[in-house]
Structure 1
């Protein structure tokens, strides 16, 4: 398999989900925030701690990380396109 195909494949695999979260399509960042909060609550309950959950990652941080991943995917895509040329 050529290097261009690998770079294009991994680039698309990073850019699409990262962009989905970065642009908060269909509330994806907010749902990731709720999912993290519910998992933290379940872990705390399993330990016997029934205090309120402290939020660790907000939807804004999820969107920021999604932006970084999408930009890295775009760099990989550009590298794959340059490899084709």
Structure 2
């Protein structure tokens, strides 16, 4: 998977959720302009933003990074 395809994956998830960059940025506490830089590949996405995106979209970080095509996140540990 190319870098462009990875950034397209993040854009597609946002568009599938019918959100603007500003709306999604607000959900994950990132300014719209910064989020646009991430989608356009102009800035590296920090780990904490990857976590926020994965949680928001209910996908794994591996999916966001293009390491797998499986969207489902890993099962959460249960407190016993």
Both structures adopt the same fold (TM-score exceeding 0.5): no
Q: Determine which structure has greater relative contact order: mean sequence separation of CA pairs < 8 Å that are 6+ residues apart, divided by chain length.
A: 1
What is the TM-score of this pair, normalised by structure 2? 0.32
Q: TM-score of the superposition, structure 1-length normalised?
A: 0.31
Question: Of Structure 1 and Structure 2, which has the larger fraction of its residues in helix?
Answer: 1
